[in-house]
Amino acid sequence: MTFRKLLLCVCVLALLLPVQSFAGDVESLLEKRSAILWFEGEEFGELIIGARAQFAFVYVDGALSEAVVKEPGAPDWLRDNIYYYGSKETRKKALFIVRLRTVKNLDLQLSMIKIGTHTLTPEDVLTNKHYVPVGELPPDFSAAFAVAVPLAAVKGTTRTVSVGDYGTELEFPIR
């Protein structure tokens, strides 16, 4: 192998390694800032039985926002909603991305979703209102939308997120 080919291989590897580490950063940050909730589902060991839908609540902060901007391979649902972070709509508010995937028919209203002590209203939604899934949703439907919640509603290190009577805890990362 000539010196020129060896140098080319080293340069290509040097370019690829940072991209892989960003992907790991985004995945790691997402894991620490997310909570999964099964609506009308019952746990049976590692199985979820009878669920209508799965909801994922993602807390967006500066670290996650920066990592997504630097990561060209970040998922579209995340990239499309992360840019609200730091906008005038999120002043004195916490940004969350709500993802959902239906398993059965689901009649969803924003007022069913609660983050901390705040029940969502149409005014909390930052994503284009035409893309927010409300009303009767069919099976195998998925969507993601961004919401801004008043900081007073999500004080502390752990917040309860819920849909109807089903809830879970979302821990905020330590800064």
pLDDT single digits (tens) 114-124: 999 999 999 99
pLDDT single digits (tens) 43-94: 788 888 888 999 999 999 999 999 999 988 899 999 999 999 989 999 999 9
- Quote the pLDDT of residue 24: 64
Structure tokens at 76: 């579209």
CB 78: neighbour CB atoms within 10 A?
20
Q: How confident is the model at residue 175 (pLDDT cuts 50, 70, 90)?
A: low
For residue 15, pLDDT beyond 70? no
Q: Where are the domains of the chain?
A: 3-171
* Residues whose CB falls within 8 Å of the CB of residue 101, separated by 6 or more in sequence, listed in order: 53, 54, 140, 141, 142
- Quote the pLDDT of residue 72: 87
For residue 13, pLDDT beyond 70? no
- Quote the pLDDT of residue 2: 47
How far is it, in rounded angstroms, from Cα 149 to Cα 159? 12
- Quote the pLDDT of residue 68: 94
CA distances from 95 to 19, 57, 70, 110 (A): 26, 10, 19, 16
Q: Given the structure tokens 């969350």, which residue do they identify?
A: 96
Phi, psi for residue 94 in degrees, rounded to 5 = -105, 140
Residue among 88, 81, 89 nearest 57 (CA) = 81
How far is it, in rounded angstroms, from Cα 114 to Cα 162? 5
For residue 125, pLDDT beyond 70? yes
Cα–Cα–Cα angle for 140, 144, 149, nearest 5°? 140
For residue 8, pLDDT beyond 60? no
How far is it, in rounded angstroms, from Cα 97 to Cα 113? 12
- Quote the pLDDT of residue 17: 43
